Amino acid sequence: MGAAEVTLCFLLREGENGAEVLLGLKQTGFGRGKIVGIGGHVEPGETHAQAVIREVLEETGVVLQAEDLADAGAVHFVFPARPDWDMKTTLFTARTWQGDPLPSDEILPEWFRVEALPVERMWQDADHWLPVVLEGRRVNVVVTMHTDNESVASSQSLLD
């Protein structure tokens, strides 16, 4: 089985104390209990942009249009001890949208300062790629996890 295709979108706004990003507490399924990006699986026949627009709506009620999305690259998560968990993740950021984030069964959305990301409550690899994305740069990273499926064994950038 190949890696699952997933997609995440990071909403960015200017707060009183600098830039803020919308993350959320995952309440169900994969990564339950962690603070994660908003997104999920790409369904057959969908583009990644269509999938992320659908997932952000389902998980937060926020309405995105294709024009709101900026391509932020990709991260490939590799779990050698659990190959069925491997995921190819496309990344987007958005600075415009309609509506205010609301909780859903899957996610409790919450704004965090970009300068104070809750890394202790996130996947341990977040530090390796998320700050770069939130600076507005594109990434193309392969993150390989240890056999504990939690800590990072290696992280390789495929960009120059």
Ligand X SMILES: Nc1[nH]c(=O)nc2c1ncn2[C@H]1C[C@H](O)[C@@H](COP(=O)(O)OP(=O)(O)OP(=O)(O)O)O1
Contact set with ligand X (CB under 6 A)? 6, 8, 28-31, 36, 39-41, 77, 87, 89, 123, 125-126
CB neighbours (10 Å) of residue 36? 21
**Cα 33 from Cα 143, distance rounded (Å):** 21
- Give least dist CB 86 to ligand X, A: 9
Which residue, 30 or 115, is less far from ligand X as judged by CB? Answer: 30
- Give least dist CB 157 to ligand X, A: 16
Q: Are 81 and 38 in contact (CB under 8 A)?
A: no
Which residue, 77 or 112, is less far from ligand X as judged by CB? Answer: 77
Which residue, 97 or 128, is less far from ligand X as judged by CB? Answer: 128
Which residue, 3 or 17, is less far from ligand X as judged by CB? Answer: 3
- Reported in sequence order, the residue ranges of the chain that DSSP labels E, i.e. its strands, are 4-15, 18-26, 35-36, 38-41, 69-78, 87-94, 107-113, 139-145, 152-157
Q: Are 19 and 13 in contact (CB under 8 A)?
A: yes
- Give least dist CB 20 to ligand X, A: 18
Which residue, 20 or 55, is less far from ligand X as judged by CB? Answer: 55
Structural tokens at position 101: 């984030």
- Give least dist CB 99 to ligand X, A: 20
Q: Are 22 and 103 in contact (CB under 8 A)?
A: no
- Give least dist CB 57 to ligand X, A: 14
